[in-house]
Amino acid sequence: MQLNRVVITGMGAVSPFGAGVAELLSGLYQNRSAVRYCPEMTAIKGLRSLVAAKVPASVLEIAGKQVARKYRRSMSPMSIYAVLAAAEAMQQAGVGAKECESGRLGVIVGSTLASTVTTEDFFNDFARDHSLERMKTSLFFKIMNHTCAANIAQTFSIKGRILAPAAACATGSQSIGYGYEMIATGHQEMLLCGGADEYHPLTSATFDVMHAASIAYNDDPQHTPRPFSAQRDGMVCGEGSGLLLLESLPSALKRGASILGEVVGFATLTDSGNIANPDSKIMVECMNLALNNAHINAVQVGYINAHATATEQGDIAESHAIATVFSDQTPVSSLKGHLGHTLAASGALETIATIDMQHTGHIVPTLHLTEIDSRCAPLNYVREVASSVELSGNKPIDYALKNSFALGGVNTSLVLRRYSSD
Amino acid sequence: MTEQEIITTVNAALVEEFELDATDMQPELSIYQDLGLDSLDTVDMVIVLEGTFNFKIREEAEIKKIRTLGDIHAFVQRKLSAEA
């Protein structure tokens, strides 16, 4: 079976740095932290982690209002983020009403949960008198699991396939991977792929209760989370949406679209040893499968964008897995220090950044990595104060690998190639 | 509640719920063609009116006959008068 090459022709982002890919990249390249102290969370009993990387409120107040009420009524913030990201990706790709109506474009966008904010609002009201008489028609459309994908499709009248993977922190990467496979096998020509999530304290509490959330930096939020660092104390939750428009190479060439990058490998598998604790050996297996899928060797990979959320178990396991598969010269960094963990959006937002890094050759370092945890494997950790060996020398990076590993035992690895026509 | 108070209250509730232009709430306007509401919106409109006026109207057959903003004003007036 002849497989299509799968390229990226559009990217869209809503991140804790604001709306747009430019805002995302600017925050990353300037090594800014989007993490903030959230004083309102002091009112929540038992929550120790009071920091988060939220999307600026102005995004909903200004950009969100550009979405017509007819469509916005069925959206919680995560769907608004996703629709804004979709609009940006489609505009960059030059995809409009013709492609949306054609059935050749589909949507694969998931989230960790549907809208917890909406669910909380509903049950707060319901608990008053157990009455459903105040329930509005839009409730279901905000709390259904495919809320982001469905709202994107409705807003732009997209007629192709629709899918909403739910794999927590691996959702965005799984969406891209499944989109890559569907386009490679010819089932769809174009797919908007990625993930979205909206912040709710429940997310921080989920990690807090497992002793995996950052709790020691409430007074110093700009210095947490700290992936791979000896001073790390856990992850910081964030929100946003990242979407990539994947397209078959023949379709992109026929349309004359600018090609931003290429997806050449994908693997996803289950770590069924423990629902919460990652197994380094399964991570190794996932990365090797992705390399095999891409038909490349580990030495060809010029950069690894790690999942590394700044949890002790995750960072150490991933570092040893990377050390098993790759040489200690391959540059590695995590973007969680800048963005926090944007959960279902993270795989896609970090893939967008990785694709840009492949072009510029400028690797965004891991923030706050002053002292590497001695229990992490020796790797070429790219840090803010970088030695020559830690940088790629600003040369374009032909191949990059993006990891995402989720609670529930969902592992994914993507292999991305800097596009060239040969 | 006077007739004008009812009109003002209805209009304010609908303007807020459906993001309508408060300066353009003429009674002859069609709630579908002019105000842009659809079937989901009309269900929510009933819920909003029930909450605003603290009455139950969702089972009333007259609701299905509403076509214009003025129909809503008249319906609410009749309902409030009947309950008075």
Residue B26 CA neighbour count, 13 Å, CB half: 5
pLDDT confidence of residue A271: 95
pLDDT confidence of residue A394: 64
Q: Give me chain A's average pLDDT, please.
A: 95
| Structural domain that includes position A73 | 6-255
Residue A260 within any structural domain of the chain: no
Q: Where are the domains of chain B?
A: 3-83
A286-337 per-position pLDDT tens digit: 999 999 999 999 999 999 999 999 999 999 999 999 999 999 999 999 999 9
Contact call for B51 and A134, based on CB within 8 A: yes
Q: CA of B44, closest CA in chain A: separation in Å?
A: 6
Asked if pLDDT for residue A225 goes beyond 90, the answer is yes
Q: Which ipTM did the prediction report?
A: 0.92
pLDDT confidence of residue A391: 54
Q: Cis ω on the peptide bond leading into residue A225 (within 30° of 0)? A: yes
Residue A140 — pLDDT band, cuts 50, 70, 90?
A: very high
Side chain identity at A169, as an amino acid letter? C
* Distance from C-alpha of A364 to C-alpha of A359, rounded to nearest angstrom: 12
* Distance from C-alpha of B16 to C-alpha of B22, rounded to nearest angstrom: 9
pLDDT confidence of residue A421: 79
Instruction: Answer whether A365's CB lies under 8 Å from A254's CB.
Output: no
Rounded average pLDDT over B59-63 = 93
Residue A274 within any structural domain of the chain: yes
Q: Which of A227, A255, A283 is the last residue of a domain?
A: A255
pLDDT confidence of residue A390: 46
Chain B residues near residue A137 by CB distance under 8 angstroms:
40, 43-44
Asked if pLDDT for residue A385 goes beyond 70, the answer is no
Residue A191 — pLDDT band, cuts 50, 70, 90?
A: very high
* For testing contact with chain A, the best of B31, B32, B42, B47 (most A CBs within 10 A): B47
Chain B residues near residue A69 by CB distance under 8 angstroms:
18-19
Rounded average pLDDT over B36-52 = 96
Closest CA to A53 of A333, A310, A342: A342
If one counts the domains in chain A, the total is: 2
Q: CA of B42, closest CA in chain A: separation in Å?
A: 10
CATH code: domain of residue A155: 3.40.47.10
Is the Cβ of B36 closer than 8 Å to some Cβ of chain A?
yes
Chain B residues near residue A135 by CB distance under 8 angstroms:
47
Side chain identity at A165, as an amino acid letter? P
Nearest Cα residue in chain A from B52: A134
Pairs of residues, one from chain A and one from chain B, whose beta carbons lie less than 8 Å apart: 20
Asked if pLDDT for residue A151 goes beyond 80, the answer is yes
A251-284 per-position pLDDT tens digit: 999 999 999 999 999 999 999 999 999 999 999 9
Residue A45 within any structural domain of the chain: yes
Contact call for B44 and A134, based on CB within 8 A: no
Contact call for B43 and A133, based on CB within 8 A: no
Side chain identity at B22, as an amino acid letter? A
Chain A residues near residue B47 by CB distance under 8 angstroms:
133-136
* Distance from C-alpha of A68 to C-alpha of A91, rounded to nearest angstrom: 18
Q: Which of A255, A282, A301 is the last residue of a domain?
A: A255
CA quadruple A367, A298, A176, A316: dihedral sign: negative
pLDDT confidence of residue A329: 94
Rounded average pLDDT over B13-21 = 97
A202-219 per-position pLDDT tens digit: 999 999 999 999 999 999
Instruction: Answer whether A394's CB lies under 8 Å from A386's CB.
Output: no
CATH architecture of B3-83: Orthogonal Bundle (1.10)
